[in-house]
């Protein structure tokens, strides 16, 4: 993907900030910031804790990749978010999210889809 233009760079940085905030929110859930006296491991279960840890780390790395305008950042964010949404929609009990979190994840996937589509059109018009 060509992230060299100024407009694409700003768009990517906005997506990176959203991904970073979502990753930090997941990290706070892993650390048990909002669970009170209950351990996050007992609240989420071992499998749910593992899923959340993997998606959290992937999202944080993807945010860094998007911030530095690397191609792998968008691919990592799209892959991790699509897998998480697919698991949630498939009814896997260990993947838990609220309506706001679901909407933010859909927003991320949609914005990355727009980015991929615009990049595809730009490359195709450059070839003609």
* Span 36-93, pLDDT tens digits: 788 888 888 999 999 999 999 999 999 999 999 888 999 999 999 999 999 999 999 9
Cα end-to-end distance, the chain, whole Å: 18
pTM metric for this prediction: 0.87
Tell me 2's DSSP state: -
Other C-beta atoms closer than 10 Å to the C-beta of 22 total 22
Tell me, what's the pLDDT at 117? 87
- For tokens 């279960």, what's the residue? 45
The residue that leads in pLDDT, 1 or 74, is: 74
Please give the Cα distance from 105 to 62 (Å, whole number).
14
**Is the pLDDT at 2 greater than 80, yes or no?**
no
Confidence (pLDDT) at 26: 93
What is the pLDDT, as a whole number, of residue 1?
Answer: 54
Domain ranges of the chain: 6-127
pLDDT confidence of residue 109: 93
Mean per-residue pLDDT over the chain, rounded: 90
């Amino acid at each position: 993907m060509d992230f060299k233009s100024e407009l694409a760079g700003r768009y990517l940085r906005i997506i990176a900030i959203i991904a970073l905030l979502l990753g930090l929110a997941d990290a706070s859930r892993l650390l048990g910031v909002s669970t009170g006296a209950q351990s996050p491991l007992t609240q989420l279960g071992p499998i749910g804790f593992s899923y959340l840890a993997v998606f959290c780390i992937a999202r944080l790395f993807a945010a860094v990749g998007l911030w530095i305008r690397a191609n792998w950042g968008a691919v990592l964010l799209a892959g991790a978010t699509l897998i998480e949404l697919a698991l949630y929609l498939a009814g896997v009990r260990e993947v838990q999210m609220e309506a706001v979190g679901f909407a933010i994840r859909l927003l991320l996937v949609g914005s990355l889809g727009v980015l991929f589509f615009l990049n595809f059109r730009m490359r195709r018009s450059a070839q003609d």
